[in-house]
Amino acid sequence: MLAAAATAAGFLVLAGSPVPMVRNFGILLVAGIVIALVVALTFGVAVQALAERRAPRRFAGLGALGSEVGAAWRGAGEIITGSRAWCALVRGSGRAARATLRGALARPALTLALAAMLAVAGWALDPVTRVESDIQRLVPQDLRALSDLQDLQRVSGVGGEVTVLVEGANLTDPKVVTWMTGYQRRILRELRYSEKAGCGRSDLCPAFSLPDLFTTKASLSSRERVEGLLDAVPVYFSQNVIAPDRRTAALSFGLRLMPLERQLQVLDTMERRLDPPAGVRARLAGLPVLAAQANDRIASPWRRLFTMLIGLLLVAAVLLAALRSLRRTLLPLIPIVLATGWAALAVFVTRIPLNPLSVMLSALVIAIATEFSVLLSERYRAERDAGNAPDEALRRTYRSTGRAVAASGATAIAGFAVLTVSDIRMLRDFGIVTVLDLVVALVGVLIVLPAVLVMAEGAARAPRALRRRPATAPGSRLPSP
């Protein structure tokens, strides 16, 4: 129950994401934990109770089928466990586990120091990890819609459109139209557009806008001339650039296909150059603005750090409320904190780019590492309460709960590994990063938690030893060294 609650708290931080897709993913994960816990406490207990009954009469008719299935299962097990690869894997994992425990017992401070150094390196390198935001690379390359969009840009020079929405009570004032014309000219020149070269090398291109209706100085000589010209233009033609009440106008630009971080730079340049006349408001609008700003919020390293801290605080709050002991809360929390740095370092070293899905995976690392760490630390505490020495308690913990944790981690890794064969790059990269993070979290917790527990034992024994030491009588001499 405690591990499930703490794991759900780690996933709950995703519910605060500004992206509905990530937010719904977090809610779905929390709901999945609740459902899994309910099923385990009801159906799982019932299945175990039925399995422990010997020769139940109502299942007597299924005895032959059960024996056949059991024989087939045993045969499959013999084939798998008898293979060289399986034996090598078992021997290798056993040696690694024993070496890990020996290292934790012999040099816990060194183990924890190395783990902390790797985590700090991961946190330091996380802000420079690349986030892939080019939609053309994240979708399947054989998608018909993608090829059509690329054909559109090849023919027209643009793949989308962004609009400067101009609002005011006097938009037919020649000064306002003149400002719109001047802004259009300046921003196009700054972003390397020229009429000779066209849209070939420019990030921004002109599109049909209100200033295009006024091509001569005479048309802007007075407000009456402006309104008269607008009255002469058919409604189906003018409604694309100015509202019928003439209080809202559109200044449109064509936008090339580009990564969202570059698109945000272009939009920021456009916004900085906005300097409308008094009484007029101007702002950027359109789907490109929404996509670029959402990507900026997701890909921000500071937001990733904030998400990680909130997740850790939620987990700590749940553990503290359940355990009511600061020491018991901190012990499993140390490997969880370090696991976030290890995962970031692994992603940086492998050069796998993050994407709008995988950029929030710190919450997944926290949640999975929480489950592993809480189960192992609480089992170790139970073994110590049973009177076992620290080294024996660790061995018993890893022989029992450690195997269950390893099996749970392996199944979770196998489940997410299915995504690595997806033809959608965003899902494929998400699967790769998830598998990598889960492997790092599992291995890291299994290695570091013993060192944390051993060091905590030493720290707890020191004050007790000082309290048991007899005080020196007044006037007596201290023993010479």
Does 295 reside within a domain? no
The residues, any chain, with a CB within 8 Å of residue 55's CB and separated by 6 or more, are: none
- For the chain, report the end-to-end CA distance as a whole number of angstroms: 54
pLDDT score recorded for residue 206: 86
Residue 374 burial (C-beta neighbours within 10 Å; 0-12, 13-18, 19+):
buried
Contact between 131 and 344 under an 8 Å Cβ cutoff? The reply is: no
Residue 413 forms part of a structural domain: yes
pLDDT the model gives residue 55? 44
Q: Which of 241, 262, 287 is the last residue in one of the domains?
A: 287
In a shared domain, residues 338 and 439: yes
Segment 161-171, tens digit of pLDDT: 899 999 988 88
Q: Is residue 293 included in any domain, yes or no?
A: no
Tens digits of per-residue pLDDT, 297-347? 777 888 888 888 888 998 889 888 888 888 888 888 999 999 999 989 998
How many H-runs (helices) and E-runs (strands) does the chain carry? 18, 4
Task: Check whether residue 304 and residue 432 sit in a common domain.
Answer: yes
CATH code of the domain in which 305 resides: 1.20.1640.10
Q: Residue 269's pLDDT band (boundaries 50, 70, 90)?
A: very high
Judge whether 133 lies within some domain. Answer: no
Q: What is the 3-state secondary structure (H, E, C) of 362-387?
A: HHHHHHHHHHHHHHHHHHHHHHHHCC
pLDDT band at 414 (very low <50, low <70, confident <90, very high): confident
Helix/strand/coil for 242 = strand
CA distance 297 to 303: 7
Quickly state the pLDDT bin for 152 (edges 50, 70, 90). confident
Q: What is the mean pLDDT of residues 241-269?
A: 88
One domain, residues 95 and 197: no
Same domain, 105 and 225: no
Domain final position from 219, 253, 287? 287
- 232 with 311, same domain? no
The Cα 89–Cα 43 span in angstroms is 33
Q: Same structural domain for residues 85 and 151? A: no
Residue 397 lies in a domain: yes
On whether both 19 and 72 belong to a single domain, the answer is yes
Does any domain span residue 44? yes
Check residue 40 and report its DSSP letter: I
**Judging by DSSP bridges, how do beta strands 204-206 and 160-168 pair with one another?**
unpaired
Regarding whether 381 and 339 lie in a shared domain, the answer is yes
Tell me: the pLDDT tens digits for 72-88? Answer: 445 545 544 555 655 66
Residues 316 and 349 in one domain: yes
Number of alpha carbons in the 13 Å side-chain half-sphere of residue 225:
13
pLDDT at 122 (0 to 100): 92
- Nearest Cα neighbor of 339 from 378, 373, 314 is 373
Q: How many domains does the chain have?
A: 2
The reply to whether 84 falls in a domain is: yes
Judge contact between 230 and 172, C-beta under 8 A: yes
C-alpha closest to that of 394 among 465, 458, 334, 452? 452
Structure tokens at 132: 């892939």
> How much is the pLDDT for 470?
52
Hey, what's the torsion of the CAs at 72, 74, 80, 81, to 10 degrees?
Answer: -170
Same domain? 153 vs 40: no
Q: Which domain holds residue 235?
A: 138-287
* Claim to verify: residue 338 and residue 451 sit in the same structural domain: yes
Is 216 a member of any domain? yes
- Same domain for 305 and 440, yes or no, is yes
Mean pLDDT score, 181-205: 83
